Structure 1
Amino acid sequence: MRFITHGSAKSSSRTGIFERIVNSNRNIILLSGGVILTAAGFTGHQGPTPYPSVTSSNDRTDLLLSEPQRPYSSKSMTDILRSLLVFKLCQLTPLVSLTPYILKYSEALNIDQPIHAIIRHTFFSHFCGGEDINEVVKTMSAFHHMGIRCILDYAIEADTDAPLASPDEAGLYAANIADTLMQSIDVAKLFPGSLIAVKVTALLPPRTLADWSGILCKVDSCISSSSTGDGVITKEQLIYGLQAAGATLDEASTIYNAASELSDNRVDRISLSQVLSVWHPQGKIVLSRLAKLGDYSTVVDNALEEMKSVCFYARDCHVGILIDAEQTYFQPAVSEQAFL
């Protein structure tokens, strides 16, 4: 898991530094976020942390935004200089671009151990809060003392160049990821106000998400090209947009009628998004065919159920969830997953 600031899409290049370490040990727990102040936020007056082996019930800190230097009081000069070095290195575009290749060929040249040692004592030590749950809890407790809340982000994501798993493999992988997210919730609930972040590309094959997003974008683009600007989508506009994406007249009419029923015969983008969705029984059939999901439609169904289980468990544990923004060509499908 990582400490993150929510709201910006991640570039695939930044994950290259950690991809080999994470891929070699799926049990690694990451907890990051750049400098200490990019954690979730400030809790102000703090009560005791519910992890008695780490902190005392008398530890209370009033941390004000007007005093951003206070969290650094717990850091040594070595830690601060290391953080400065890491940020300076991250600004070197050639180094960022070459990092995946350095990691790839270091093993062939039998220098992977020193390379990993360098990474572990620089980037890993800066961005990551522990390699197991106990280390993560200890790090979160330190932040908790300073009145800083955390967002736990399981650092597993994928891009379209990832090998396409079989439907069975994808389903098993999604179930394992969901189980890890629930473990993250168990950690987050130890510190009130903590949240977890979910990457949808960890739950669904990236190519499936890309195909799904492509259909949504194509329909929206066709509708926008004939829009009158009043926000209303006519039946003719919707039929044109859906047929341009490959839908039949009957399928387009079915989607329009369902959206019309939801919005008192006034279809707009909101009502359309509620129907042309994998969450809607009729829309799911049409969307699955247009996106050519085939056998992966079952994978999508299972991933949605896993997502619901994670969300309901988080609700029961009073832990908030953020759906992490990802690459733009995934985002329409990622956003739809967020509308649970």
Structure 2
Amino acid sequence: MALLRSLSAQRTAISLVYGRNSSKSSNSVAVAACRSFHQRGTRSTSTVGEGAASESTRGVNGARFLHSGERPLQASAVVQPELVSGETVKRSTKQESSQERNPSPAGSPQRDPLDVSFNDPIAAFKSKTTGELIRAYLVYMICSSEKLVEHNMTLMKWSKNVLGQRLFTALMKATFYGHFVAGEDQIKIIPTLERLRSFGVKPILDYSVEEDITQEEAEKREVESSVSSAGDKKEEGSMPQYHVDKSFADRRYKVSSARTYFYLNEATCERNMEIFIKCLEAVSDDDRKVPRAVATGATFGTGITAIKLTALGRPQLLLQLSEVIMRTRKYMEDMVGGQGNVLTHHKTIKDLEKYYATLGDNKDVKEFLNNVTSDKEGILHLFPWSGIVDEDSQLSDTFRVPDPQTGQMRRLISQIPPKEEEMFRNMIRRLNTIVKAAADLDVRIMVDAEQTYFQPAISRITLEMMRKYNKDKAIVFNTYQCYLRETFREVNTDLEQAKRQNFYFGAKLVRGAYMDQERDRAKSLGYPDPVNPTFEATTEMYHKTLSECLRRIKLMKDCDDDARKIGIMVASHNEDTVRFAIQQMKEIGISPEDKVICFGQLLGMCDYITFPLGQAGYSAYKYIPYGPVEEVLPYLSRRAQENKGVLKKIKKEKRLLLSEIRRRLMRGQLFYKPKGNYVPI
């Protein structure tokens, strides 16, 4: 009770100060926002270039609104934003009272209006008990302390030694573990999943057990697994970024928001595959609790599992494959001019024959041309990637191109020993096994993005898995990191491949997890920085990429094509980006019922965004980690670090938490029991 009185007093003080400071400026802010809206206009995009330019400009302006203290624009179909003050609480209480008097009819799912300012504490936390709100507030208070966060892993280990396993487990469940993790196993997470669904939110499951290894051990494993047994030969034309460097061998360096797998042996990769399949089964078991008429109406199915390709094989193979892809692009650029993916050059087999005409009747060149992947519009790939993901190709023999000067075949990849060829086939077999299981269980797979020196290979393999499995619906999704300079071009190219090869395209758009590490590595190894120069540039990239995807969806919808052939997850904790997506959907006529756009945030973070979206009928997901307390400590450590880096969001969440705790205290709802009547779309 003392704690609640303290929280109430703090909240009252905040409300008084905030109310005095904000009342004078609210009218001028509203006028400024309206002026800006009329100046920018609401016209739809017409061409790729024009649309991308207008939307990217709008994206940057949107970001500046929040930085300058102005309130962002709202879609007219949703509730206009309000500041969180005593008046907001009163109004929210009236809305709640109205809902209590007029509940949704039995069997009829509830839908709420959406406040796109995300300032409604009732909508944000109606799925939580009061105890959970207090726990969340305490966790965020701890995350606000730099000293505690900096030494969080040491403190957790010290607490375990002092308290013993049993008391330590109880402490973690009462704090960080209880807030950020759903439970120990597939059975114990069921209550969390059921409650999420009852409030309109769906799961992305991730078994978040991580190895807690030293930096020395991480570096040793990474170096050993990133160099071929034949040696790390840097041949003519090799690219430094695709070779291991001991200074950056610990891939956890400056990374707080992504898990890192370090290769140990093939048996570990097999075990990781089995864990991913168990995640799929857990999602599928959860889906079967929902009537099929409802479950099949969810965006691209009801549940999702996230996987990482570095968990399934030796990283050296991804490094080599990534270098092959980039050297192939360089080969095409040198031969035909321009830049970018092979597909973007719009060349045909006949065009290549002309380039090789001076070589005469060359048997090797003819065989190379026979294996080029093309369609009536031109060349898609220089190499037969379909054979590579079908586990029946020899890498060393596949990646060879004709030298336009001599006619001799030139390797773009160093000779791979037979044992490592087998390791690559094992990695592809594991991935195929996972995706087949996902298709059989009607669960979606999201392949996480990783560092840029792995990403060309990861994206290429993922796109080929889409081509293979996304024939009737989107089973496989790729992840695109918008802090990278090339993201818009990469997404455009992949969308074009999906269109030409007629498969369903799935993309998760994120800001990215490896920015600081990527910048430091590029500077140290002497290659161009792959990262956008500013936060605003990344926001622009995100909005520009999202706008292009939405433009293509609208075109398909207008042409009576299946608009669900493009599916996008807006995986962002950034309010501006979520608002931008909602505004764009409204402007170009895409509704939540079209089931082509969904939103995702981490469990325990930005509930004030996820739950209002789900309760308003948007497709909303929570990324759900689970695993034993002892084995998820590295995950919890990263969550604490990540929250330290987003203090602005924490301040808002703390403010909303205090507001809702105070409201429940005043209304005598300390023992409120969440009971939702929402159905995920």
* Bin of the TM-score, shorter chain as denominator length: 0.5 to 0.7
Q: Is the 8 A contact 1:63 1:146 kept in 2?
A: no
Q: Separation in 2 of the partners of 1:124 and 1:196? A: 20
Code of the aligned partner of 1:206 = P
Instruction: Label 1:202 to 1:75 Cα distance change in 2 as closer, same or farther (>3 A).
Output: same
CA contact (8 A) 1:82 1:122 kept: yes
Q: Does residue 114 of structure 2 align to residue 66 of structure 1? A: yes
Q: 1:194 aligns with which of 293, 298, 303?
A: 303
For residues 110-129 of structure 1, what are the structure 2 equivalents within 5 Å? 121-129=174-182
Work out the CA distance in 1 between the residues paired with 2:129 and 2:414.
Answer: 53
C-alpha deviation, 1:97, in angstroms: 6.2
1:278 aligned onto 2:394: no
SS in structure 2 at match of 1:278: helix
SS at match of 2:182: coil
- Deviation string 1:110-147 (CA, Å, 9 cap, x unpaired) is 56958965655433222210101111122111112212
Secondary structure of 2:389's partner? coil
- Judge conservation of contact 2:346–2:377 (CA < 8 Å) in 1: no
Alignment equivalent of 1:232, drawn from 323, 346, 351: 346
Partner of 2:638: none
Counterpart of 1:204 in structure 2 is: 313
Structure 2 CA distance for aligned equivalents of residues 93 and 238 of structure 1: 61
Larger strand percent: 2
In the TM superposition, what is the alpha-carbon distance from 1:334 to its structure 2 partner? 1.6
- 1:134-181 per-position Cα deviation (integer Å, ceiling 9, x unaligned): 111221111122121111123367998472569996332222222222
Q: Is 1:180–2:266 an aligned residue pair?
A: no
Residue number in structure 1 paired with 2:438: 314
Determine if contact 2:383/2:399 at 8 Å carries over to the other structure: no
Decide which of 192, 198, 214 is 1:139's aligned counterpart.
192
**In 1, Cα distance between equivalents of 2:113 and 2:367:** 53
Distance 1:286 1:314, change over 3 A: same
Q: 278, 293, 296: which one pairs with 2:420?
A: 296
Pick closer, same or farther for the CA change 1:286–1:273 going to 2, 3 Å.
closer
Q: Can you give the 5+ residue segments of structure 2 that lack an aligned partner in the other structure?
A: 1-105, 230-262, 288-294, 296-301, 357-361, 401-410, 466-681
For 1:145 and 1:126, the matched residues in 2 are separated by 19
Any unmatched runs of 5+ in structure 1? 1-57, 240-248
Q: How many Å separate the matches in 1 of 2:363 and 2:189?
A: 54
1:305 aligned partner: 429
* Alpha-carbon distance between aligned partners in 1 of 2:278 and 2:432, rounded to the nearest angstrom: 15
Q: Report the TM-score, using the length of structure 2 for normalisation.
A: 0.33
**Between 123-132 and 216-225, the greater mean CA deviation after superposition:** 216-225
> CA distance change for structure 1 residues 255 and 60 in 2, over 3 Å: closer, same or farther?
farther
Counterpart residue type for residue 174 of structure 1: C
Equivalent residue letter for 1:177 = N
CA contact (8 A) 2:449 2:455 kept: yes
CA deviation after TM superposition for structure 1 residue 279, in Å? 2.4
TM-score by length of 1: 0.61
Give the greater-gyration-radius structure (CA).
2
The residue that corresponds to 1:41 in the other structure is: none
Count matched residues: 268
Amino acid at match of 1:297: E
SS at structure 2 position matched to 1:197: strand
Q: 1:148 to 1:265 in 2, by over 3 A?
A: closer
SS in 2 for 1:218: helix
> Where does 1:55-94 land on structure 2 (aligned, <5 Å)?
61-64=109-112, 66=114, 69-70=122-123, 72-86=125-139
1:216-231 residue pairs with structure 2 within 5 A?
Answer: 216-224=325-333, 227-228=337-338, 231=345
Tell me, yes or no, if the aligned pair for 1:178 and 1:310 is still in contact at 8 Å.
yes
Q: In structure 2, the residue corresponding to 1:326 is in which secondary structure?
A: coil
Question: Partners in 2 of 1:156 and 1:277 — Cα distance?
Answer: 34
Q: Is this contact kept in 2: 1:61–1:146, CA < 8 A?
A: no
Tell me which amino acid in the other structure corresponds to 2:381.
Answer: S
Instruction: Rate the CA distance shift 1:112–1:60 in 2: closer, same or farther, 3 A.
Output: farther
Are the aligned partners of 1:213 and 1:331 in contact in 2 as well (CA < 8 Å)?
yes
For the residues of structure 2 that align with 1:333 and 1:131, how far apart are their CA atoms?
A: 33
Whole-angstrom CA distance in 1 between matches of 2:306 and 2:456? 18
